[in-house]
Amino acid sequence: MKQIVIYSFPEISPKQRIKFNRELYGFEDYSNNGNYKYNRKGILLEGEYEKPIRGVIILKTNIKRVEKHLKKYNAMYKLFKIA
């Protein structure tokens, strides 16, 4: 069963938003003038979610971890079960 998460932030700085997204989705990190590339994993791995638009995620797994992450950043969110 899938769940859809709709979230928004009442007030969040751009720095905090970037930190939130990096922890959730992961990111690519470069060092030594771009000679080395590291893939930093996030809470969600590829294939476990769909992101149709900004502020909406369709999850297959890791629902509790995502909910905990949203609470950590004081996000306003709603969870809905979909078929």
Say whether pLDDT at 83 is over 80: no
Residue type, 32: N
**Residue matched to tokens 């690519």:** 28
Closest CA to 48 of 27, 71, 69, 66: 66
**CA–CA gap between residue 49 and residue 14 (Å, rounded):** 24
Query: By residue range, what is the domain housing residue 57?
Result: 2-82
**CA–CA gap between residue 49 and residue 37 (Å, rounded):** 24
* Domain count within the chain: 1
Q: Which residue has the higher pLDDT, 78 or 1?
A: 78
Q: What's the pLDDT score for residue 4? A: 96
Each residue of 18-69: pLDDT tens digit?
Answer: 999 999 999 999 999 889 999 999 999 877 899 999 999 999 888 999 999 9
pLDDT, mean of residues 7-15 = 93
